[in-house]
Amino acid sequence: MPIYHLVPVASLLRDRAWIASAHQGPCCVCAPSEALARRFAGEAFRVPVPGAARQAAVAAATPWSERRLVGARELASPEDVEPPPLGTIFVPADPDRPDGAFVALGRL
């Protein structure tokens, strides 16, 4: 099962679509496709957006689904290691060190 590394575009973190996400840092998602990895991240980090702010979040239900806001790449998986279960999401253990160790957030 592939693992996708999703990274928000730093220069676009002020985009209104981010109102709808509780997490604005990198994450890794275990999914068979990039599209599904983006969907899992969007569901995991979704924040209900109230009335007026909802329109500010524009058409996208989540910034994680927008390629202009979030880059994605498939990580190489060692063949001798069992992959995590489908939908497992990993986030940085220390949000101030996004290039450091990642911990499992959970699974969808």
Burial class (CB in 10 A: 0-12, 13-18, 19+), 43: middle
User: CA-to-CA distance for 71 and 52, rounded, in angstroms?
Assistant: 28
For 80-96, the pLDDT digits (tens) are 888 899 999 999 998 88
Four-point Cα dihedral 39, 44, 50, 53, nearest 10: -60
pLDDT in tens, 12-27: 999 999 999 999 999 9
Per-residue pLDDT, 105: 84
pLDDT value for 55: 57
Look at 55 and 43; give whichever has higher pLDDT: 43
Q: Is pLDDT of 38 > 90? A: yes
Residue owning tokens 């007026």: 52
Distance of CA 105 to the CA centre of its chain: 11
Q: Tell me the pLDDT band of 107, cut-offs 50, 70 and 90.
A: low
- Smallest CA-to-CA distance from 6 within 41, 33, 31 is with 41
